[in-house]
Structure 1
Amino acid sequence: MAHRHHFGWHFKSGEGFAGRTSKIGGLFRKKLTLDHLDKLIENIPLRHNFISTLMFLGVVQSFFLGFVLLIRSKKNQGITWFAVTMLASALVFLDVYLCYTGLIKNVLFLNDSTESLVLLLGPTIYFSIYVFLKRQNMVLGKHWWHFVIPTGYLLSQIPFYLAPLSVKYNAYLGAYYSDLPIAKVRESFDYSYHYIKDTFDWLVLFSFLLYVILSLNLVWKEKSRLLSIGTNSISKKYIFTRNTVAALSLLLFIIFLVFYSFDDDSGDHYLAIFHGFLAFLTTYVLLAESQFFEKSWIADKYETLGLTKSDLNLEVIESYINENNYFLEQKASLKDLASMLNTHPNQISKIINQGNHSNFNDFINQKRIAFSKVKLVDPKFSNVTIEAIGTMAGFKSKSAFYNAFKKHTNTSPSAFIKSFSPKL
């Protein structure tokens, strides 16, 4: 996202800097034959202002948040992919910051080095949403095609990455300072890589549009699933992913406006500022949802097994189970829940035994039975078999459903239905 040909095919004029670069020395401006490239680079002005400060803060915050999430992901692939998105975006907008301020002249060899990362943002944020909502890890052997565009673009630009510094200097000037003298480039230099670079803006728009659509589809399916099971609460996971897709859609709209409004890189700082806003907003949301502010954590009222301490309590466990409809999952187990809550299974077992006077299985089955009782007498589910409702409630077999229902209601599912039927 470093330069206009990074973000730069102007929709109105039909000519981006990538095209202009291939014609340097002929069509657009006269070559100036200054011998010392170092002197030319030294003449690049530095620019520090309020905008650059906002950009810098956003980049720092994005790096910080990305590293924290990566360290704390604990093999949670959804969080890992989200962390990769934050780190990739931090590198992209660090590039924008360096170019905007002119500090790029100190590392000019890195000019346009983050372009392929821009094309990586869509897939990684989609992977994160997919894992959160589908509760399935992304298998690269199955989903490899998501990396075709960024990888293909990266390979196509190798000639530019290996190009002389004078080429990268001229590219930077075309994006920010077209009035400064350009460097002399040998006439034999091959600009063929620009055939791909000229399409970069379209690739960016296509990538973001594609992953906005795919992400919206995931969120829509999750909303439909929640409605189908008749849950009365929307999980925080769903809300977070829904808001993430909304932010991604807004980013796509802003990218389009910047592409349309600027024929050079003078508008990229708007994207950088919006990115910084998202980084701080995401940090706020994650911090606000942290258990750090729980009274139980501050008061330290609950002791764990042994000498360790935790803020975990029955309210926290039940809140997680209810908000995520965990009790409806057939894989629900003491070990799996402990992994989700980052604690020991014995700790959860002890809390449930003391607070609910039951073991884990009964605790989960009570919620499943309450769910199935509603569905059994709901007219909307009159055509659904009793066994299907049991499966919907999370039971792995018909016998498990009937035995649990009998234990917690002292009647069978069929008798329960008859008790609600009108008597003739």
Structure 2
Amino acid sequence: MEINYNFISIIDLLGVIQGLLFGGMLLLLHSKKNRPTLYLGLFILLFSLEPIPNILNDLGLLQVYPHLELLPVHFHFLAYPLFYIYIQKISVFGNKTPSYWTLIPGILEVLIGIVIFLLPTHIKLSLKASLFAVVYFILGLGYSIWIGVLIIRWIQIHKKEIENQFSVIFQKQLNWARFFTYASIGFQLLLIINFFIDDKQWYYFIVVINVILIYWVSFKGIVQENITSLFSVFSQFDKEPLPNATTTKPIDTVSNTTTTAEVKQSEFMTSEVMSEIIETVETYIKNSQCFTKDNLTIIDIAEATNIHPKRISYALNNQKGVNFNTYINKFRVERAKELFENEGNNNLSVEGIGMEAGFHSKATFYGAFKKFEGCTPASFRNT
């Protein structure tokens, strides 16, 4: 038997082995406490199996063993829904039922794929060369892209809710998952192009991207922790009516999927009530200087003022037009300006001033300062 080894096959094989190792590792890490790793591990396993038919073809094994044609290792309809569920489970909305319905086309794909694989070889070869294969490929990649759009939308809603609860959102925004999803959508488009042009150089480029994506999602998935909503600790209050309720203004709604203030649709707050909430919160923050605590959360404010955190969040969004993260960073920027203007702090670096004001990192400090003042902290200091 002649085996045609080539560089592309080696890279392809590396991606498969890498995916099997990382996927298996995540499945081993799976537990009741860390249940989302199950979905990520399965996604990586399925994602990494995609190149196997190409490897068998490059090595000449399909010519020797033609019954291996149409191995059921393509999971266009199943892989990305698993990643979608993983993102839903680790997000701030992890206590909600994920979109299991997205798995239905994938389960049907697996069952049909097994049936087709068991067919006589000559029938499989006919199917492979037919329009059926083209339609299946295009629909599968199209479904993956659509799921990718749903993932990006979910992460955007998650990010908005995180900003309503935490003053430090570093590593909670799931930026890596958003970038990975964008890259994956681009990867699907490259596969569609390669399907029609069938160019070895182009396929080599796709193979390298595939290996990078597997490593990227595996590494990030291993270090990513679940992000629990802080509002869940106040869930016992959600059944209580809001004080001073009227029937004029509905509580904030964020998309059709979730809400910033998860209270009954029939509950309302007047502008007067919201103004009182903000006045109480602002007085406490100024007097306590609690914003200098770099891991301050809306729960800390709620406990200190005895106001439900969802009411605080809603009041800030509707009266101030800002989320909790932006609101607290404004206090920190003002504090940083005071420190800059105090000559006794000349020995402190710009980053040191940021830390004193409550910022968690240099990047966050610079970003917030420029947002509010229109210049960097260093520029402000030098003026």
> Which of the five TM-score ranges fits, normalised by the shorter chain?
0.5 to 0.7
Residue 135 (structure 1) aligns with: 94
Q: Deviations over 1:81-100 (max 9, x none)?
A: 11111111222222332223
Asked whether the equivalents of residues 376 and 382 of structure 1 are also in contact (C-alpha less than 8 Å), the reply is: no
- 1:275 aligns to what? 210
The amino acid across from 1:217 in the alignment is R
Tell me if 1:330 matches 2:233. yes
The correspondence of residues 191-340 of structure 1 with structure 2, limited to 5 A, is 194=130, 196-229=132-165, 231-236=167-172, 238-262=174-198, 270-285=205-220, 289=223, 324=227, 327-330=230-233
**Identity percentage of aligned residues:** 16
User: How far has the Cα of 1:259 moved from its partner?
Assistant: 3.1
CA 86–107 in structure 1, closer or farther in 2 if over 3 Å, else same: farther
Distance in structure 1 (CA, Å) of the matches to 2:66 and 2:306:
65
Q: Secondary structure at the match of 2:31?
A: coil
RMSD between aligned alpha carbons?
A: 4.1
How far apart are 1:137 and its partner, in Å?
6.3
Deviations, residues 291-322 of structure 1 (Å, cap 9, x unaligned): xxxxxxxxxxxxxxxxxxxxxxxxxxxxx8xx
For 2:103, the equivalent position in structure 1 comes to 147
Question: Using a 3 Å threshold, how does the CA distance of structure 1 residues 285 and 82 change in structure 2: closer, same or farther?
Answer: closer
Aligned to 2:3: 46
Deviation at 1:168, TM superposition (A): 4.6
Q: Distance in 2 between matches of 1:229 and 1:364?
A: 5
SS at match of 2:77: helix
Equivalent pair of 2:43/2:83 in contact (CA under 8 Å):
yes
C-alpha distance in 2 between matches for 1:234 and 1:378: 22
Find the counterpart in structure 2 of residue 87 from structure 1.
45
CA distance 1:377–1:119, change in 2 (3 Å): closer
Say which SS state the counterpart of residue 156 (structure 2) adopts: helix
The gaps in structure 1 that reach 5 residues or longer are 1-41, 175-193, 291-319, 333-362, 390-424
Task: State the Cα deviation string for residues 160-194 of structure 1 (Å, max 9, x = none).
Answer: 4233234556778x6xxxxxxxxxxxxxxxxxxx5
Distance 1:383 1:103, change over 3 A: same
Amino acid of the residue matched to residue 213 of structure 1? V
Which residue does the alignment assign to 2:21?
A: 64
Q: Which residue, 46, 55, 59 being the options, matches 2:12?
A: 55
Displacement after TM superposition at 1:365 (Å): 6.1
Cα deviation, 1:52-88, whole Å, max 9, x if unaligned, reads 2111111101000000000101133321111111111
Measure, in 2, the Cα distance between the counterparts of 1:195 and 1:160.
15
**Cα distance in 1 between the residues matched to 2:313 and 2:231:** 18
Cα separation, 1, equivalents of 2:37 and 2:305 = 30
TM-score by length of 1: 0.50
Work out the CA distance in 2 between the residues paired with 1:111 and 1:377: 57
Q: Could you tell me which residue of structure 2 aligns to residue 24 of structure 1?
A: none
1:234-258 Cα deviation digits (max 9, x unpaired): 3346234323322322222322332
Counterpart Cα distance in 1 of 2:319 and 2:17: 56
Q: Max radius of gyration: which structure?
A: 1
Which structure has more relative contact order (CA 8 Å, sep 6+)? It is: 1
Shift of 1:119: 2.1
Q: Matched residues in 1 for 2:80 and 2:20: separation?
A: 18
CA distances 1:379-404 after superposition (whole Å, capped 9, x unpaired): 846759xxxx9xxxxxxxxxxxxxxx
Distance in 1 separating the partners of 2:140 and 2:182: 18
